[in-house]
Amino acid sequence: MGERSVSGMKVASKKSLCYFFSMITLLFILSWLFVLRSTHFEGISISSTAHDSNLNLFSSFNDSSSAADHDDDNNNDNQTVEPSFGNRAILGNSGNIKARTTKQVPEKEQEKEGVECSNTRGRVVLKVFMYDLPSEFHFGLLDWKPEEGNNSVWPDITTKPPHYPGGLNLQHSIEYWLTLDILASEQLPFNAKTAIRVRNSIEADVVFVPFFSSLCYNRYSRTGPHEKKSRNKLMQDMLVKYVTAQEEWKRSGGRDHVILAHHPNSMLDARMKLWPGTFILSDFGRYPTNIANVEKDVIAPYKHVIAPNDNDQSTFDSRPILLYFQGAIYRKDGGHAREELFYLLKNEKDVHFSFGSAQKGGIKMSTEGMRSSKFCLNIAGDTPSSNRLFDAIVSHCVPVIISDEIELPYEDVLDYSEFCIFVRTRDALKKKYLINFIRSIGKDEWTRMWNRLKEVQSFFEFQFPSQESDAVQMIWQAISRKVPFMNLKINRSRRFFRSLYGQKKGPKSIPAPATFS
């Protein structure tokens, strides 16, 4: 009898313990669910607040003059708002380049209908310190001389700026337009100021080196009969000596400098010593990756040679030529595809593929040909890019790009697949592949791309004074998007100052990286 009682007590005890532990476990789970539920939205709020705070902290342009430099996304169907970094632009589906921000912009400051760049009209975004280089490095190359008694190295642009030579010289004239724009930020009261000149380099986001390197190459690259070095090379030597001696270069190791080298052959000597800076290039065709790369440098468009087709009323059916190319066919380096495509396409009835140049009315012929064509071939030549692409854009002739190594301007904010056709070289060289592919593109798709070309045309227009969304403003914006990377490189270079130099504040200048030889 006693044994049964003890056995029953053991069973009851085990049941009680199981029940007790089950209740404890259930209460524990419920309590955690309650805690997680109560803190879920609070956690999101804190995370979002911290994220916005970090964006404000690390934005290179977050000051009293640029705190409201960005427009809201005006798409009423989608009210999602994303934080912006600096002045990084976002390409909207409607064709507008917009910057998204968490702040509301008054209705009167919202973007006008059409394609606008991301900056509110008249707001300063990028602060630029420009070296007062002697005039022989810039406008002196245009045969400009200061008036007698005037010690300024810069022309008075309030009347008329010095003339830049026409023809093919224009395609690499980026240095001229950017320098004019910086001067205009001081001398002209116009509104489209994406960049402004500052006189104190400590306040600047970037340091601008106003050397007209492309013009110098075009005019002075040949060596005279009694010269050991061309004037172009001598100018590069003098530039390196001047720039690397400046306090601004020593302070950053050149990492915040903007250097113009748009012509593929310009600055071939100086680049080996000035490479820590940000180069403004047309492509990377002549540059090793340790000297220039898409991470630190900016690709700028060519200045188109063909006049823009401003009053274009053409249609798919009114352009009789299907595919157009006129230019140099036999090229060195990566240009072998031109020759092979010539033999593949020359007998197609609605294809124009012929040799041509800018001489003897070549520009006029190209203008008429591109405006009469549905598609325009842009094939790699001596380098991956050429001004032919930008001539096609302003002619509203849908570009067909056959250049595997090409880099395109503003491609971090602009989707070229909306108005260009890309074909890999190995595919284009297959028999009948390219022509069959182009013929498969119908009227509706071509018309959509043609309309998009008209919308983006302003991004590739160089003008003075510069206007909203033109090439000058877009290049400045592309430079401004490199500023965080410049600051990253500068700050990383300061890590070991104190331990290496044994000083509390470190040296006054940052050693530049080793040069390549």
CA dist., res. 303 & res. 174, Å (int): 7
The predicted pLDDT at position 14 comes to: 60
Q: With a cut of 50, which residues of the chain have pLDDT below it?
A: 1-12, 35, 38-122, 517
CA dist., res. 379 & res. 339, Å (int): 10
Q: What percent of the chain has pLDDT over 70?
A: 71
Quick check: helix, strand or coil at residue 422?
strand
Tokens 């969304």 belong to residue: 469
- At 197, the amino acid letter reads R
- Helix or strand holding residue 354 (H, E): strand 351-355
Q: Say if residues 232 and 494 touch (Cβ distance below 8 Å).
A: no
Q: Say if residues 375 and 400 touch (Cβ distance below 8 Å).
A: yes
CA dist., res. 500 & res. 492, Å (int): 14
The predicted pLDDT at position 329 comes to: 79
Q: Say if residues 113 and 99 touch (Cβ distance below 8 Å).
A: no
CA dist., res. 280 & res. 376, Å (int): 26
Q: What is the pLDDT of residues 85-95, one digit of tens each?
A: 332 333 333 33
Length, in residues, of the chain: 517
The predicted pLDDT at position 346 comes to: 87
CA dist., res. 513 & res. 517, Å (int): 13
The predicted pLDDT at position 174 comes to: 95
Instruction: State pTM to two decimals.
Output: 0.74
The predicted pLDDT at position 6 comes to: 42
Quick check: helix, strand or coil at residue 351?
strand
Picking from 477, 487, 478, the residue whose alpha carbon sits closest to that of residue 58 is 487
Q: What is the pLDDT of residues 295-324, one digit of tens each?
A: 999 999 999 998 999 889 999 999 999 999
Picking from 110, 99, 102, the residue whose alpha carbon sits closest to that of residue 70 is 99
Picking from 411, 369, 415, 409, the residue whose alpha carbon sits closest to that of residue 392 is 369
Q: Say if residues 249 and 512 touch (Cβ distance below 8 Å).
A: yes
Q: 381: Cβ–Cβ under 8 A, 6 or more apart, which residues?
A: 327, 328, 331, 333, 334, 335, 338
Bridge-based pairing state of the strands 97-98 and 90-91: antiparallel
Joined tokens for residue 346: 């020359």
Which phi and psi (to 5°) does residue 428 adopt? Answer: -60, -30
The predicted pLDDT at position 105 comes to: 40
DSSP 326-368: EE--S-STTTHHHHHHHHHHTT-TTEEEEE--STTTHHHHHHH
